[in-house]
Amino acid sequence: MQVKCTICGGTSDLTKAHKDYPKLAKNTNYTYICERCSIQVQAEMQKHQLFRKK
């Protein structure tokens, strides 16, 4: 199954072994975020939290 990342717009091929496959198979409106964008968002949030603590 090919899916499109909500953030970057890149497409990925998901196999049945992927953790998000069952959710995407049941609901086509499921928001998919690729691993690269997920790591970027996580890093930005950590940076933001460090800034707020100071």
Query: How confident is the prediction along the chain (54 residues), in pLDDT tens digits per residue?
Result: 899 999 999 999 989 998 888 988 898 888 899 999 999 999 999 888 776 665
Domains: count for the chain:
1
Q: CA angle 9-20-8, nearest 5°?
A: 15
How many CB atoms are located within 10 Å of the residue 9 CB?
Answer: 9
CA distances from 16 to 1, 2, 28 (A): 8, 11, 15
Residue 38: the pLDDT is 94
Q: Determine the pLDDT at residue 52.
A: 67
Alpha-carbon gap, residue 15 to 10, rounded angstroms: 16
Query: Partners of 3 in the beta sheet?
Result: 12
Distance of CA 42 to the CA centre of its chain: 10
The range of the structural domain enclosing residue 32 comes to: 2-53
Q: What global pTM score does this model have?
A: 0.72
